[in-house]
Amino acid sequence: MEVINSLGRRKTAVARIYVSEGKGNITINKRELKEYFPSEILQYIVLQPLNLLQVSEKYDIKVNLDGGGPKGQAEALRLAITRALMEIDPESRPQLKAAGFVTRDPREVERKKPGQPKARKRFQFSKR
């Protein structure tokens, strides 16, 4: 199997990954998964597609993560891993789709408008 690269995005986070056969090591920005994401919840999010297909010990993943916060980065990485797994085995797509990992979450931060303190919030209205 040659190295497969894939991309995942969420909010402003971008995950570029390189998947090759190995023992299940995940390296994020030259750091271990447990070191980069100390939170158990974020580790769980990242490993969801691998655990669903029971291939967590089969591939080594090298990750380049950029932008966003921890949650956005974890979800971007989950999408990238899902896309790579679908490229390796197209038969796994229905399983991943049913779990909701294939869809890119389109929600982005709404821009701040002039004449308002935030995107939707308005300054207090004064009648007189």
CATH of the domain at 16: 3.30.230.10
Q: Domain residues for 41?
A: 4-99
What pLDDT is recorded for position 31? 95
- Would residue 117 count as lying in a domain? no
Residue 58's CB: how many other CB atoms inside 10 A?
15
What pLDDT is recorded for position 122? 96
What pLDDT is recorded for position 1? 78
Percent helix, strand and coil across the chain, each rounded to 5? 35, 25, 40
Q: What is the mean pLDDT of each run of 10 residues along the chain (128 residues)?
A: 93 96 94 95 95 93 95 96 94 94 95 97 94
**CB distance 77 to 49 below 8 Å:** no
The answer to whether the Cα torsion of 22, 61, 42, 47 is positive or negative is: negative
- Would residue 123 count as lying in a domain? no
- Would residue 128 count as lying in a domain? no
- Would residue 126 count as lying in a domain? no
Query: What domain count does the chain have?
Result: 1
- Would residue 121 count as lying in a domain? no
